[in-house]
Amino acid sequence: MTRVAPENPFPIRRILSPSVKAWDKSHRSQPRSGARIKPTAQAVAQSDKRASPIGAKDVFLNASILIMLAIVLLFDASCNRRPADAFFPASNEVPGWVKTGDTRTFEAADLWKYIDGEAERYLKVGVQRVFTSDYEYRNEIDAAIDIYIMKSTEGSKRIFELDPAADARPVQLGDGARLYSQSVIFRKGIYLIRIVAYQESAETPQALFQLGQAIEGRVTR
């Protein structure tokens, strides 16, 4: 005959002290190892923001910046590739004017050799180099042409504005020009052109202006 243990009328209950209860509640609230934690709404939003692809507006903006940079570099490279003689009119290209000397080039570091005492103000505005050559007009007027190449149009503008406007009259050359009795100065983009005659006569200003027009056409090619 099988013996059956009598039912315990007094089942054992788990009795915990208050401190143990607190520890047990805290322990149960922590995630178990390997359990998946449901991300919060804020975490999901941040994740979506990081994973979102670049918008069309950003792509267009970046492409525009790259194109502008390429144009600037191409323009600068084209200026550096052009030989110095390409900026100066050939003899009798302008009626009466003859090129009487070789074209000389002075880089920024050597500018003091050409215009000692004034080189500093050109260096401050970013001059890169200067081309210079001598001319003669009808065996009567000797003149020198200086073509300064700046890093930016702001540099040529600042040097142009430093020249006194007194005793000069504005003329239509480049982006701004002043014609004096024995010289003409004008700017065109990154170029600053100064033509100085060593003799003065009634026809000197007009002859200088015509020579300046020929140079303007060459720097804009």
Are 173 and 187 in contact, with CB atoms under 8 Å apart?
Answer: no
Looking at residue 44, what is its pLDDT? 47
Closest CA to 174 of 214, 128, 127, 129: 214
Tokens of 163: 């020249």
Residue among 154, 137, 138 nearest 212 (CA): 137
Distance between CA atoms of residues 162 and 118, nearest Å: 12
Nearby residues of 106 by Cβ (< 8 Å), 6 or more positions away: 113, 114, 129, 130, 132
What per-residue confidence (pLDDT) applies to 129? 97
Domains of the chain from N-terminus onward: 86-219 (3.40.1000.70)
* Distance from C-alpha of 27 to C-alpha of 18, rounded to nearest angstrom: 14
Predicted pLDDT at 220: 87
| pLDDT for res 82 | 82
Mean pLDDT by 10 residues, the chain (221 residues): 47 47 51 52 54 57 58 46 91 97 96 92 96 97 98 96 92 97 97 97 97 95 78
Query: Strand, helix or coil at 123?
Result: helix
